[in-house]
Amino acid sequence: MRLTLVDREDPVLRQVARPVPDAGSKRVRDLARALDELRIESGGMGLAAPQAGISERIIIVEVPEDDWVGYPEVPAFPATVLLNPEIVWESEEFVKLPEACLSLPGLMGNVIRPSAITVQALDLEGDRVTIHADRWLARVLQHEIDHLDGVLYVDRVEDPHELWYVERVDVNDPVWSRNPQVLRLREELRRQQPAEPRMA
Ligand SMILES: [Zn+2]
């Protein structure tokens, strides 16, 4: 099985993915292996099945041992597949960090999220696992679990000035269609533009 990333306009990215019914099966193990291959070749710390066009609640996360923005010492977390993950606890402390997404190449944006979470899920054997995560692992998990609900990080960027393209922010880009702040900014800019001269 060989998977590829879907285009960012693909409606699968905006769907609520269905729960995995057969955790522990060979089908799911094969699918997870193919997803992990895609994640590695794409250079992502995380990947969610919808990004490969598969509307199922499967994510893979890995935090490499590395220095990373905002967190000078990032504890490594080995590549782990989680089925039907659920956030069962969130810290009251929030942290703002830049995020990017394999499904939205060329974009980055600052997102405020809880700094620590607890996730319950099933592993590839179908056994229940609980993960208490903070720092980058918490960030990657929240980003990937969002994908399972059709949410992209750009929906959560609170200030349009805290999002950027590698080149230039284009507020008319349809990727922002669900970000209320960007929609307001778009409307403001539209109002500021002089009306087109009419042909008499
Ligand atoms: Zn993503």
pLDDT reported for residue 69: 54
24 alpha carbon – ligand 1 mean position (Å)? 25
Condensed to tens digits (0 to 9), the pLDDT of residues 67-104 reads 555 555 677 889 999 999 999 999 999 999 889 999 99
pLDDT above 90 covers what percent of the chain? 62
pTM of the model: 0.82
Average pLDDT over all residues of the chain = 88
pLDDT tier at 185 (50, 70, 90 boundaries)?
confident
Q: Is 158's pLDDT higher than 90? A: no
Residue reference for tokens 């990727």: 175
Q: Kindly list the domain boundaries of the chain, sorted by start residue.
A: 11-191
Q: What DSSP letter does each residue of 166-188 carry, written as one string?
A: SS---TT-GGGTT-HHHHHHHHH
- At the top level of CATH, the class of 11-191 is alpha beta
Q: Is 8's pLDDT higher than 70? A: yes
Mean of pLDDT values over 140-168: 88
Residues less than 5 Å from ion ligand 1, measured at CB: 101
Residue 6 to residues 47, 152, 177, 199: CA-CA distances in angstroms? 12, 14, 18, 44
199 alpha carbon – ligand 1 mean position (Å)? 46
105 alpha carbon – ligand 1 mean position (Å)? 10
186 alpha carbon – ligand 1 mean position (Å)? 24
Which residues form the catalytic set? 144
33: buried, middle or exposed (CB in 10 Å: 19+, 13-18, 0-12)? middle
pLDDT reported for residue 67: 54
pLDDT reported for residue 63: 86
Backbone angles phi, psi at 132, to 5 degrees: -95, 120
pLDDT tier at 23 (50, 70, 90 boundaries)?
very high
Is residue 65 within 8 A of residue 74, CB to CB? The reply is yes
Residue 102 to residues 172, 182, 191: CA-CA distances in angstroms? 21, 21, 33
195 alpha carbon – ligand 1 mean position (Å)? 38
